Structure 1
């Protein structure tokens, strides 16, 4: 039997798609991502299915929408018995490991029965509350605390390299989950490594169009945020170097993605939880054996599609209960669109279909306690070809009434397909 490939997920937190050179960021801070995107398969139009930490992670681990597992907002543990990628890879003969931020348990340290079935564990449930930029505390599988030296990105990367360097008979599946470039909650700032923010600030001559126009906390935070992105890319390069050194790069599938983006308080009073591109669009690539040289994947891809894509790339059957589709099988993919569920800031739903972005919400719903609604009202419509920064909301324009009715029908169908109850969509006034 041919040995299965190793699989490594490099997962960042709150990273906008346009932070990387492959998406034309002018700062040239991501040479490792850009090189791997060119070598492997760059997923150009990649989106989360839920722009908040815990729900996005539940979707990635299970391949199911957050409303299906019940993890529709933060602070809801993954239900007991829910199968994760660790279970599927483990059943296929893999040694599985998890390092970093989890955000799918009831607290820290994460008890063994809430560790998602991973064999090796060095993680924290809410890493931003157990660590600081230069003080990283993680817990092993038995709940023992370990303080790791260095900047937090480097501390996790060092731990991952130590894991990769272990002798093993089985292929590995390693999920490496960073906090960066997420803000440090307690101080509401973006603490880059010492010296990075000042250096990058001198190079910034303009900001992405949405941030340039709407402002938010951009001028206060963007240079620190991009400093964190730069260090993440250096860490990505170090992981690749380790695989080269160990002779495993050519036999390792690598997926890089993020749980959601960052709009710098331009769309609501925090950084995410909206249907806008800055909140939902993320940088994504997959590379490795059977993938390199395959060219870009340009169709719209959802985070819900990443679990089946990983299993498919490793030659493992995709379970029927997963709600996404392997991006490696274009003939089996549905419409070129993505469906987004939104919680905490609103009970909302969004559809990105072709050049159109269509958003709805229930203004009467309890955004913390209600996972869904039976009645939504239109809130946003954008023409992404003409208005990629989403500055001109067309939802109340009479000339788009017919289009809105068509998109409402499409969105209603996606709501039902995700396993939710049917819902009416009320036209904007």
Structure 2
């Protein structure tokens, strides 16, 4: 039997070798809008540098391209219809087993800075510790996009505080301070930095950055029809300015990691919760929720130099939102709980020549305000194809290698009949696995006990924090 002294020594050694994790989450940043993806407008030297030394999942897919559903799927590793988190402004119950709780149990410090959007009690309400899903260090607000007049709550203080200036810059400074203060700790940390940018309003981006994007210099994607182009350019000016600001923040974070000697043994993830249409497919510029690539595909870089080195490479296999948590746990040597439904994709990271035809599920269960057609859908995105059904019939199908701007809908095209059939079989199998019967959207409100909220106004249209269907991922099951 080991002596107590030897046991303590081994435990300390294990703590010191576990990787730190910094999860950087942008809001409404589509995969195409960064320099390393070839966007002619994007000025992102720091992200380009990170991409050159990281694993780049080229086909990262938001399971449901809306803020709250993505964040719930990220935190739990579970799908929207398993948690009931399929609309914005819902409450993710504290009983759900979530990312920070799992890492905390494994010996990690945990911290959260920025936008939360999982509490459902009001966008400016104080969120008490028992509703923070295991995050200890806390400087966050449920939701705001008033970037130059942005508030937050710090730890247990119920006083509403204000970020100085443009909030992304102030949040980055706070994250840098957190990284510095933990640099001598034996205990590893998990820090999530959740920015509000580049989500609209776009015109509130720093003026000196907007000046770098004259309207007549902005190049739009070929799938933006002429009648949408003036609006799209106007929005794109601020969108790309926000992205440039985001890139500056990433540069400062990476510099601090290097200066503190923690870069080698830190997993850095850079991604977003969903994209933005910016006029593509004729859709309104500021919208998401759609099944097209501008909405569902997000950047996803993951760097871990101590294990994977500094030679970046690309992975074509799609990574879906519920896959992120089990993959991070596996990379960190932490056991994956049984409640998690996503897949551990470390094999794809270790061997980028693996078969790349896995399918990522995409869904819109209850489209809300802004989605003028309000079409619920279920679909899959593979490395090559997109296939989407509405409740009545196949809706969209694209060969994304031949048609990267998704301008030719191949549904019921005789030349693609066999491929469509196989894609439909794959989608149906995934829905069966998830127990998703693809019901009319109104039925899901009844199933989950959501009631129209007449007390809190439009910002919280449905209330679910008083009643919730108990699901298999609850900690007390």
TM-score normalised to structure 1 length: 0.88
Cα root mean square deviation, aligned: 2.3
Q: Deviations over 1:368-404 (max 9, x none)?
A: xxxxxxxx42211112122211112222435544433
> Is 1:166 the equivalent of 2:156?
no
- Flag structure 2 segments of 5+ consecutive residues without an equivalent: 1-12, 368-373, 441-477
2:28 aligned residue (14, 24, 28) = 14
Aligned match of 1:382: 398
Say if 1:62 and 1:85, in contact at 8 Å, map to a contact too: yes
Aligned to 2:164: 149
Is residue 391 of structure 1 aligned with residue 413 of structure 2? no
Partner of 2:428: 412
What CA distance in whole angstroms lies between the structure 2 residues aligned with 1:314 and 1:377? Answer: 42
Question: CA contact under 8 A between 1:356 and 1:383: conserved in structure 2?
Answer: yes
Which consecutive residues of structure 1, in runs of 5 or more, have no partner in the other structure?
363-375, 425-429
For residues 26-425 of structure 1, the aligned pairs below 5 Å read 26-27=40-41, 29-106=43-120, 107=122, 108-128=125-145, 132-142=146-156, 143-167=158-182, 168-184=185-201, 189-201=202-214, 204-211=217-224, 215=228, 217-267=231-281, 268-269=283-284, 270-288=286-304, 289-292=306-309, 293=311, 295-330=313-348, 335-343=357-365, 344=367, 345-362=374-391, 376-421=392-437
Q: Secondary structure at the match of 2:71?
A: helix
CA gap of 1:410–1:339, structure 2 versus 1, over 3 A, is same
Residue 266 of structure 1 and its aligned partner are, at CA, apart by 4.1
* Deviation per residue, 1:251-305 (Å, 9 max, x gap): 2110000001110254544511011000011111101221233632222221221
What is the SS of the residue equivalent to 1:239?
A: helix
Alpha-carbon offset, residue 199 of structure 1 = 1.5
Rg larger for: 2
Give 1:27 deviation, angstroms. 3.5
**Structure 1 residue 66, shift from structure 2 partner:** 1.1
SS at match of 1:180: strand
Residue range with higher mean Cα deviation, 135-144 or 63-72: 135-144
Q: 1:70 to 1:190 in 2, by over 3 A?
A: farther
In the TM superposition, what is the alpha-carbon distance from 1:105 to its structure 2 partner? 0.3
Of 170-179 and 190-199, more deviation after overlay is shown by: 190-199
Residues 205 and 70 of structure 1, relative CA distance in 2, 3 Å threshold: closer
Alpha-carbon distance in structure 2 between the residues aligned to 1:261 and 1:209: 17
Give the CA deviation at 1:232: 0.3
CA distance in 2, matches of 1:69, 1:272: 21
**CA spacing shift, 1:138–1:12, aligned 2, 3 Å:** same
Q: Distance in 1 between matches of 2:341 and 2:274?
A: 19
Q: 1:154 deviation in Å?
A: 0.3
Deviation at 1:169, TM superposition (A): 4.1
CA-CA distance at 1:48 after TM superposition: 1.0
The match for 1:365 is none
The residue number in structure 2 matching 1:366 is none
Hey, what's the Cα distance between the residues in 1 that align with 2:52 and 2:227?
32
The answer to whether the Cα contact below 8 Å between 2:205 and 2:238 also exists between their aligned partners in 1 is: yes
TM-score, normalization by structure 2: 0.79
2:429 counterpart SS class: helix
1: CA distance, partners of 2:222 / 2:360: 23
Aligned mates of 1:275, 1:393 — CA distance in 2:
13
Per the TM alignment, residue 333 of structure 1 is displaced from its structure 2 partner at its CA by 8.9
- Number of aligned positions between the proteins: 404
Q: Pick closer, same or farther for the CA change 1:333–1:158 going to 2, 3 Å.
A: farther
Q: Distance in 2 between matches of 1:393 and 1:141?
A: 50
User: Cα–Cα, structure 1 residues 408 and 423, in superposed 2: closer, same or farther, change >3 Å?
Assistant: farther
1:373 — aligned with what? none
> 2:384–2:399: 8 Å Cα contact kept in structure 1?
yes
Q: What SS class does the counterpart of residue 112 from structure 2 fall into?
A: strand
- Give 3-state SS (helix, strand or coil) of 2:190's partner: strand
C-alpha displacement of 1:195? 2.0
Native 8 Å contact 1:99 1:177 kept in 2: yes
2:357–2:383 Cα contact (<8 Å) kept = no
